[in-house]
Chain A
Amino acid sequence: MIQREAFFLLADTGRRFCLYYPPQVPEEKGAVLYIHPFAEEMNKSRRMAALQSCALAAAGYGVLQIDLNGCGDSSGDFGDASWDSWVEDVVNACDWLRERSSAPLWLWGLRAGCLLAVNAAVNLKNRPNFLFWQPALAGKPLLQQFLRLKLAAELIENEDKQGAKALRQQLARGESIELAGYRLSPQMTRGLEEADLQILPHAGRIEWLEISPHAEPTLAPASIKRLEQWQAAGVPVSGQVVSGPSFWQTSEIEEVPALIQVTLDVLVRPPAS
């Protein structure tokens, strides 16, 4: 069993629950910050995040997991959180890691967590490396997907179809919306909608991993396009895909052992020159 330290990190607007997995070898190979995905996807992904954190700690990485403002066991209400407050949480968590370790910094995001990683990197003193798990290319489709829960609930209840239209009108009036047990502020939806997976010119290494249910998986066409754009611009990025269920959205909590192994492989691999 890998040891873990639970603590609260102080923020301007309360305290954030954190779990730290110290590296299990004397010489730390890297300091990794896990940035969770949006809303219910965070809960579905908890197990994979824990398994990967343990595997990384055993391989010599220190891993910090933070529950963002209003999420998990952190203080605050999800409905009062803004996208910017989440970006701030990521920066604070990086500072905590930096104080503790001088090993190379990795921002490990899942889905929306990748967008937060990229947004936060602008405010970091040192350039981080990125580990992307099934990165969202932009926040807009994620928000659309979330708003679709309204339509889905109406289909199941056999109610009149209102869909997301009324919700969008509410947001446009500056009001919060409530959906599937989550309250969302206009400050959150605006930030999410504007978020885009654009890499700064001074980014460190980027490892991009995707999960596909097919036995012979391939990267999504949109991902290939983005990777090629970055490679052409000289960004040190490499992409890989593994076989497995989309664990962040499946009905049961699923595991993808291949992803854990590939993640270890790509992190320890020396950067391509």
Chain B
Amino acid sequence: MTALGSLSVELTLEIKQEILAILDEILSLRGRAAGFNERTPLLGAIPELDSMAVVALITTLEERFGFSVEDDEIDGATFATVGSMIEFVKGKLAA
């Protein structure tokens, strides 16, 4: 149980790093994403996150994590915070 717990912590951290790197790249944040945490609000809070950027984010998540996303799997809550994006990716990877 402990081993599984720590593995999942590591995986979460890895996913978080990758998501922050993707956000920084796609939204041209110039390193600002390094200061984000799980509670950092995204959709509606970051002006750069327009519809083109949302599409670029979904596509980049698919490419980097190697899964494909159907329309009905995502809603506004998916991109609400950094934490909700991490949870979404974890769910996709576990599926």
Taking Cβ atoms with an 8 Å cutoff, the residues of A that contact B are: 40, 145-146, 148-149, 151-153, 155-156, 158, 161, 163-165, 180, 213, 220-221, 245-246, 249-252, 254
Question: How far, in angstroms, from A180 to B55 measured CA to CA in the complex?
Answer: 12
Q: Would B60 and A246 count as touching, CB distance under 8 A?
A: yes
Residue among B21, B56, B59 having the largest count of chain A Cβ atoms under 10 Å:
B56
Q: Which residues of B contact A163 (CB under 8 A)?
A: 71-72
Q: Would A149 and B25 count as touching, CB distance under 8 A?
A: no
Q: Which residues of B contact A254 (CB under 8 A)?
A: 28
Q: Which residues of A contact B51 (CB under 8 A)?
A: 149, 152-153, 156, 180
Q: Would A155 and B28 count as touching, CB distance under 8 A?
A: no
Taking Cβ atoms with an 8 Å cutoff, the residues of B that contact A are: 21-22, 25-28, 43-44, 48-56, 58-60, 63, 66, 71-72, 74-76, 78-79
Q: Would B26 and A246 count as touching, CB distance under 8 A?
A: yes
* Least Cβ–Cβ distance between B73 and chain A, in angstroms: 10
Closest to A214 in B: B21
Q: Which residues of B contact A146 (CB under 8 A)?
A: 55
Closest to A244 in B: B25
Nearest 5 A-B pairs (CB), nearest first? Answer: A252-B28, A163-B71, A152-B54, A152-B51, A249-B56
Q: A161-B75, A163-B72, A251-B28 are in contact. Are A156 and B50 (CB under 8 A)?
A: yes
A-B contact count (CB 8 A): 72
Q: Which residues of A contact B79 (CB under 8 A)?
A: 155
Partner of B72, one of A153, A156, A161: A161
Question: By DSSP majority rule, is chain B's interface helix, strand, loop, or mixed?
Answer: helix
Q: Which residues of B contact A220 (CB under 8 A)?
A: 63
Question: How far, in angstroms, from A165 to B71 measured CA to CA in the complex?
Answer: 9
Q: Which residues of A contact B71 (CB under 8 A)?
A: 148, 151, 161, 163-165
Q: Would B76 and A180 count as touching, CB distance under 8 A?
A: no
A-B contact pairs, 6 of them (CB 8 A): A148-B71, A156-B51, A156-B54, A158-B76, A249-B52, A251-B27
Question: How far, in angstroms, from A220 to B66 measured CA to CA in the complex?
Answer: 10
Residue among A40, A148, A161, A220 having the largest count of chain B Cβ atoms under 10 Å:
A148
Partner of A145, one of B21, B59, B66: B59
Q: Would B25 and A152 count as touching, CB distance under 8 A?
A: no
* Least Cβ–Cβ distance between A178 and chain B, in angstroms: 14
Q: Which residues of A contact B60 (CB under 8 A)?
A: 246, 249
Q: Would A156 and B75 count as touching, CB distance under 8 A?
A: no
Q: Would A246 and B25 count as touching, CB distance under 8 A?
A: yes
Q: Which residues of A contact B66 (CB under 8 A)?
A: 221
Residue among B43, B50, B52, B63 having the largest count of chain A Cβ atoms under 10 Å:
B52
* Least Cβ–Cβ distance between B28 and chain A, in angstroms: 4
* Least Cβ–Cβ distance between A85 and chain B, in angstroms: 25
Residue among A40, A146, A151 having the largest count of chain B Cβ atoms under 10 Å:
A151
Partner of B25, one of A40, A153, A156, A213: A213
Q: A156-B54, A180-B52 are in contact. Are A151 and B25 (CB under 8 A)?
A: no
* Least Cβ–Cβ distance between B52 and chain A, in angstroms: 6
